[in-house]
């Protein structure tokens, strides 16, 4: 594909990926203790299949057919793999787009079976570990641009359907970053002030030295 077929812009899509896990009532004969689901889902209300062709989850090699390819999002809108197991391991998630000339996106998720725990309304415990991330399309192909840019395909994020209040989390993170930036600025200013003070003191000592009888000014570079 020539560069002419690409649109010079950067577009993003917010996605959430991660896993949930629950403890099995009894240990299975194969030693499995947990049921888990790993998923990629949209953050806003939209159909990921509009621009995603397939999602590949690379599980631990213990698993039969450890490379699982999911081509269709389920009725909840997620691409997911359900399994049982006994251990935690990193899962590579590779996302392919409807235009094969668009570079695949790769993320990594460390499957969690034990933490962090959440208590459901019925009192049962579920482990949920997920992140909000964004897919970044730099100079997307025309085909990708058209679908990524089509606002009619997207409805805004609906917090009522989510376990985590992402807008609140984002706001808290932004506030924290702002505070960190302010703190760094204060620290830099304090350091500048300390340097100015040291330079002044050096100059004062130097003055005194010059007044010392027998003092010879050393103008060597070092
Ligand atoms: C650990 N390093 O020691 C990890 C390995 C492997 C998890 C975790 C069983 C899969 C199967 C399973 O859960 N393997 O029986 O097919 O914790």
pLDDT value of residue 43: 96
Domain boundaries, the chain: 3-163, 165-212
Among 19, 88, 115, name the best residue to mutate to test ligand 1's pocket (greatest count of ligand atoms within 8 A of Cβ). 88
Name the CATH superfamily, with its identifier, for domain 3-163. Answer: YEATS domain (2.60.40.1970)
Cβ distance 64 to 29 under 8 Å?
no
C-alpha of residue 63 to centroid of ligand 1, in Å: 8
C-alpha of residue 89 to centroid of ligand 1, in Å: 7
Percent of the chain with pLDDT over 90: 88
pLDDT in tens, 178-193: 999 999 999 999 999 9
Among 62, 81, 82, 112, name the best residue to mutate to test ligand 1's pocket (greatest count of ligand atoms within 8 A of Cβ). 62
Beta partners for residue 122, in sequence order: none
C-alpha of residue 35 to centroid of ligand 1, in Å: 13
What pTM was computed for the model? 0.81
* Arithmetic mean of pLDDT, 161-181: 93
3-state secondary structure 107-154: EEEECCCCCCEEECCCCCEEEEEEEEEEEEEECCEHHHHHHHCCHHHC
pLDDT in tens, 135-166: 999 999 999 999 999 999 999 999 988 989 99
Whether pLDDT at 81 is above 80? yes
Protein residue with its CA nearest to atom 7 in ligand 1: 87
């Amino acid at each position: 594909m020539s560069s002419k077929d690409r649109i010079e812009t950067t577009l993003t899509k917010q996605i959430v990926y991660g896993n949930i896990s629950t403890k099995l009532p009894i240990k299975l004969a194969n030693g499995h203790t947990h049921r888990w689901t790993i998923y990629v889902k949209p953050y806003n209300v939209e159909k990921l299949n509009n621009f995603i062709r397939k999602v590949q989850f690379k599980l631990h090699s213990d698993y039969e057919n450890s490379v699982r390819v999911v081509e269709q999002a389920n009725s909840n809108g997620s691409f997911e793999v359900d399994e049982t197991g006994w251990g935690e391991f990193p899962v590579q998630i590779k996302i392919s787009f409807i235009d094969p000339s668009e570079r695949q996106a790769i993320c990594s998720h460390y499957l969690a079976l034990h933490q962090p725990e959440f208590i459901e309304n019925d009192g049962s415990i579920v482990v949920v570990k997920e992140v909000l991330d964004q897919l970044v399309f730099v100079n997307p192909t025309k085909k990708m641009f058209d679908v990524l840019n089509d606002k009619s395909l997207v409805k805004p994020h609906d917090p009522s359907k989510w376990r985590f209040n992402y807008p609140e989390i984002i706001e808290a993170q932004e506030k924290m970053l702002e505070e960190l930036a302010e703190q760094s600025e204060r620290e830099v200013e304090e350091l500048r002030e300390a340097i100015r003070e040291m330079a002044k003191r050096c100059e004062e000592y130097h003055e005194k030295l010059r007044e010392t009888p027998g003092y010879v000014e050393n103008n060597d570079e070092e």
